[in-house]
Amino acid sequence: MESTIEKDSQALPAENDVEAWQSVLELCGELMREGAPAAKQDDPIEKRVCSRSYTLKQAAKLAGVSADTLRVAAAELALDSFLDPRGKLRFPVYTFKPTASDPDLREMIAGYERLPLKDLRSLLGIDQRRLDRHLREAGMSPKRLIWRDLRGLWGLPETFAEFSRLLEEQADRTGRAKRKRRGGRARRRKQEAQTRLRNRLIDAFPKWRNAWRDQQQLYLHIGEPNSGKTHDALTALKDAGSGWYLAPLRLLAYEIYDRLNDEGIACNLLTGEEYIPVEGARITAATIEMFNPTDSGACVIIDEAQMLADSDRGWAWTRAFMESAAPEMHIIGPPTARQLIEVLAAAAEIPCELVEHQRLAPIALAERHFTLESLPPSTILVAFSRRAVLDLKMKLERLGRAVSVVYGSLPPEVRRRQADRFAAGETDICVATDAVGMGLNLPADVVCFYEVEKFDGKDDRQLYPSEVHQIGGRAGRYGMSTTGLIAATNRRDLAVIRELYAQQPQTLTFARVAPTVDDLNLIPGSLADQLTQWAELKSIPAELRSVITTADMDERIELAKMLSEDDIKKLGLASALQLVNAPTRKGTRAYWLDCAHMILEGYQIPLPGDAPVPIHDGGDLEATEFSIACADIYLWLSRRREFTAFCEAHAQVREERREWSLSIDEALLRNLNTARRCRACGALLPSRHRYRICENCFAGRRY
């Protein structure tokens, strides 16, 4: 293969010329680049080219030299390379990887590396005068020193790799010595710099005492679940004629969108993944992150206000509350949120009127526990993992019960269908995680706890009193139940539930805030460093430190670490911050990174992997849920103007996501067998077994 180094712009094919990409694909061979997303035969040709070749920067890193050095070496040594249709120099993996792995060939490439004078002085331990004398004696010019002319001279090593290693060790020794000398002085300077930075961030903190406050009225709706809070607030929104209903979940925003439109009141829907405009609508039901404070309308409803304290998403509730310019605001929450909201309202000088609501149906604790066989109709059975919910569904169906399920990773559309069947009496049991406690319209006669412990992302812990009140409060259907009943499935757990329900839930103390682009521009370092420092500095004005703290940046920091400084520069800080705000979890980070790489390369982002259709078992169900989670990332990116151009297939992805959601719903209706099996021998695993292999296989592996 001939080396192609000089760019001839007149000879370059058009960017979208499939034939041009096909011609360079033939130069790439079949070997895939390590870390590249697996390319399929039906993937775009440019993606296959990228996965089978290195860019100049990638190849230089692999060879341990600078990009400029590799460019020159490629021309001098006739290394296999080509220009893609975008004019980027690329090296086929199948030829360059063996080259970079061969010590002799690596050394030949490194021979073209230019050496700074300071590196030579450092390693030789001499001053500039002595180095100049050495160079004159060797007949060399100090203006252009390359490694192949210097190797082995004056005690220098014979290989560039050894030279680089010695130079790095020398730098480490020098750095340690300098750090030791500077010692306390450096620490003091760092503390002073942090203090100055914190003060600048405090000065930049938003001013919430705005001019319109004297024209604004806040109505704080406080009460237990099933107390009519949302109904009263929605009546005010309908009377106002324009504004927003802000929800924590797409599911809840959908519910209000349908409810208002069914009543003949035009209402738009706006979530992170989609926008459904309705002709003539002046009201929007939205997930709270999508709220535009500059277009607040006449009335804004903020639901589930206890989310102010949520470590990850609470910043969106704080922003909506403190930046809304609507003349009328209605905030809905449990008694635990009252004090925090009143303090925040006073800090922003918002007039606040308390509206207390009483439960519409009384609630009581069961005198005896229920077994799975004795659960009464219209019962929500609560477990705290997807695995437990699906196992319970199977067990109950084998007992002849009709069952709905609700859990966090279930697509919102499916959750809603499942909840609607339960509300309509088509199913008599709903097995659910604590997702049922977040505003979902799912009235029941009984809420029965199958578990009293949950994994909170870090540890297994017992439920908090507030969780028992929030979830248990779903019991009792106004006008249909005389009393709502809270129960458990064994005597010990019922005693725990009684004790927790008797306790007063802990009052919320802190609302959360998140950094802005202006905040991060004040902080030095990479995006991950900026987010980390912002979280650690906690730059809150003194008068608000008792009620405001910083949001949890962990997931955003993990995503930011996956981007290089060059990536951040290419995107721009605002777009990079938007990118790391995408709705990811640990399992979908790899797909997010594929999307980020394609955006940086200027290509269309990859489509989510196909889901298995139809769904036959629990493995297919999990795979489909994963495909939908990736589709959510795609659609979220497509709704951000910075990335819309890279998401031209958004209509296709939305339709596929809809079909996958229907496939899940149909599978759940078919009494799907979701039993987990040992990954080694295929034996059935107990419902509460924590591992992916059975005890026998584990013991055999140990033996």
pLDDT > 90? residue 431: yes
What would the two tokens of residue 475 be?
Answer: 């019991």
Q: Which of 112-126, 246-260, 600-614 has the lowest mean pLDDT?
A: 112-126
Distance CA 290, CA 301 (A): 14
Q: Are 432 and 415 in contact (CB under 8 A)?
A: no
Cβ-based neighbour number of residue 495 at 10 Å: 13
Q: How confident is the model at residue 119 (pLDDT cuts 50, 70, 90)?
A: confident
3-class SS of residue 512: strand
User: What span, in angstroms and rounded, lies between the C-alpha atoms of 202 and 285?
Assistant: 33
**pLDDT above 60 (res 141):** yes
Rg (CA), the chain: 31
**Region of residue 389 (left: phi > 0; alpha: psi -120 to 50; beta: else):** alpha
Q: Which of 114-118, 180-184, 342-346 has the highest mean pLDDT?
A: 342-346
Q: Domain 216-356: give its CATH code.
A: 3.40.50.300
**Who's near 572: CB < 8 A, 6+ residues apart?**
none
105-114, 142-151, 431-440, 498-507: least confidently modelled range: 431-440
Per residue in 256-277, pLDDT (tens digit) is 999 999 999 999 999 988 899 9
Residue 439, pLDDT > 60, answer no
9 has a pLDDT exceeding 50: no
Q: What is the pLDDT of residues 659-677, one digit of tens each?
A: 998 888 888 887 677 666 6
DSSP of 249-310: SHHHHHHHHHHHHHTT--EEEE-SS-EE--TT--EEEEEGGG--GGG--SEEEE--GGGGG-
% of the chain surpassing 90 pLDDT: 47
CATH pick for 363-502 out of 3.30.460.80, 3.30.9.10, 3.40.50.2300, 3.40.50.300:
3.40.50.300
Residues 621, 670: Cα–Cα separation, whole Å:
12
Q: What are the residue ranges of CATH 3.40.50.300 in the chain?
A: 216-356, 363-502
Three-state SS letters, 267-280: EEEECCCCEECCCC
Long-range contacts (CB closer than 8 Å, 24 or more residues apart) made by 154-161: 154/124, 155/124, 156/123, 156/124, 159/103, 159/107, 159/110, 160/64, 160/65, 160/106, 160/107, 160/110, 160/111, 160/113, 161/64, 161/103, 161/106, 161/107, 161/110
Mean pLDDT of 230-241: 95
Give the span between the Cα atoms of 498 and 494, in whole angstroms: 6
Q: Return the percentage of the chain with pLDDT > 70, whole number.
A: 90
pTM of the model: 0.68
Range of lowest pLDDT (42-46, 225-229, 309-313, 446-450): 42-46
Higher pLDDT, 669 or 596: 596
Where is pLDDT greater, at 685 or 648? 648
pLDDT reading at 401 higher than 80: yes
Q: How far is CA 432 from the centre of its chain?
A: 23
Interatomic CA distance for residues 26 and 11, integer angstroms: 18
Cα separation, 69 vs 260, whole angstroms: 65
C-alpha distances (whole Å) from 604 to each of 61, 467, 598, 634 are 26, 43, 6, 11
Angle CA 511–326–211, to nearest 5: 85
For residue 656, CA distances in Å to 216, 583, 610, 664 come to: 44, 19, 9, 12
pLDDT mean across residues, the chain: 86
Is the pLDDT at 126 greater than 50? The verdict is yes
Torsion of CA 290, 293, 294, 300, to 10 degrees: 100
Alpha helical stretches, state H, 151-240: 160-182, 184-203, 229-240
* Cα 698 to Cα 684: distance, rounded to the nearest angstrom: 14
Strand partners, 354: 220
Confidence (pLDDT) at 142: 79
Residue 702: both structure tokens together: 């140990």
